[in-house]
Amino acid sequence: MTQPDRIHLKDYILATEIGAFQSERGRDQRLRFNLTVDLRDPVSGVDDHVDRILSYDVLTEAIATALADQRYNLVETLAEKIAAEVLAHPRAARIEVTVEKLDRGPGALGVTISRDAGRVDVEQDVLPVRLILGNPGAAPDAAAVILPHAPGLPLPDAALRRVVLLALDQAAWTLSAALGLEVAETRTELDAAIRAGQPVVWAPTRLASDAPEAGQTPEALAFWLARRLKATGLDIVLPADATLPVTPEDLTLPIGRITPA
């Protein structure tokens, strides 16, 4: 039987408060984490595209999320939480998690668990983020994804769709420099910025070029991404005398309007 492709995180060490004994309370001790994940699909054919693989950030962020969730008495409980976080990812099929205490004896004391997707439960939080369509005059002070308009876009034409997307990419890089923000091109980069509560400017070509259902106008792309991110709202930047360029009757997310000075 062919072995599945795997990714792994080895000898990842963090200090935290953990343990059931009184002597372990009120003090941090080192934990060593080793994670190995079986992938649902082989890594061949991903075309060097970060959104088509299970990012290594998923592993480190699963550990960070688990440690932030509560104080643990048992490394077994912590290992279960980490396994659940990773297996929530659609590309993860199976995981082996080892958690070891390094400061409780002459060697490493710990546990190794193996879990399959569908055998553990995890609540997948939708992180709050607003999507801004247009060019805001200043950087937002919370998690937001900005898709700027690009003056002089080609007329909507299926043959020119990639040209339209590339024009929006150029507008994104220009706006990012003006606002002092990072550019996000992939879902991995968007998710990382949202988790960090940081605003970013979205350059849509890499994420939307293989998704014709996303459309090609800034309005269509904004609504498409808002659905994928489960955005809490969509703010549209317009001049005072302009009208909204979309009719959002079929959407549930609230539509806001920002009028530039």
The model's pTM:
0.56
How large a percentage of the chain has pLDDT more than 70?
A: 82
Amino acid identity of residue 189, one-letter, is: E
Lowest mean pLDDT among 84-98, 122-136, 172-186: 122-136
Q: How confident is the model at residue 136 (pLDDT cuts 50, 70, 90)?
A: confident
C-alpha to C-alpha distance for 153 and 254, rounded to whole angstroms: 27
* Average pLDDT along the chain: 82
Give me the half-sphere count of Cα atoms (radius 13 Å) on the Cβ side of residue 217: 8
**How far apart are the C-alpha atoms of 201 and 133, rounded to whole Å?**
10
Calculate what percentage of the chain has a pLDDT beyond 90. Answer: 29
Contacts of 1 (CB under 8 A, 6+ apart): none
DSSP string, 160-171: GHHHHHHHHHHH
Rg (CA), the chain: 22
Which tokens is 84 given? 């659940």
CA dihedral 132, 137, 141, 144 (to 10 degrees): 20
Helices 187-195 + 56-69 axis angle, to 10: 20
Predicted confidence (pLDDT) per residue in 48-57, tens digit: 666 667 878 8
* CA–CA dist 37, 39 (Å, integer): 6
pLDDT digits (tens, 9 = 90+) for 212-256: 778 888 888 888 888 888 888 888 887 766 666 655 545 566 777
- Are the C-beta atoms of 180 and 139 separated by less than 8 Å? yes
CA distance linking residue 12 with residue 216, whole number of Å: 42
Q: Which two tokens stand for residue 240?
A: 């005072």
Q: What is the pLDDT of residues 179-192, one digit of tens each?
A: 999 999 887 788 88
- List domains and CATH numbers for the chain: 6-116 (3.30.1130.10), 130-258 (no CATH)
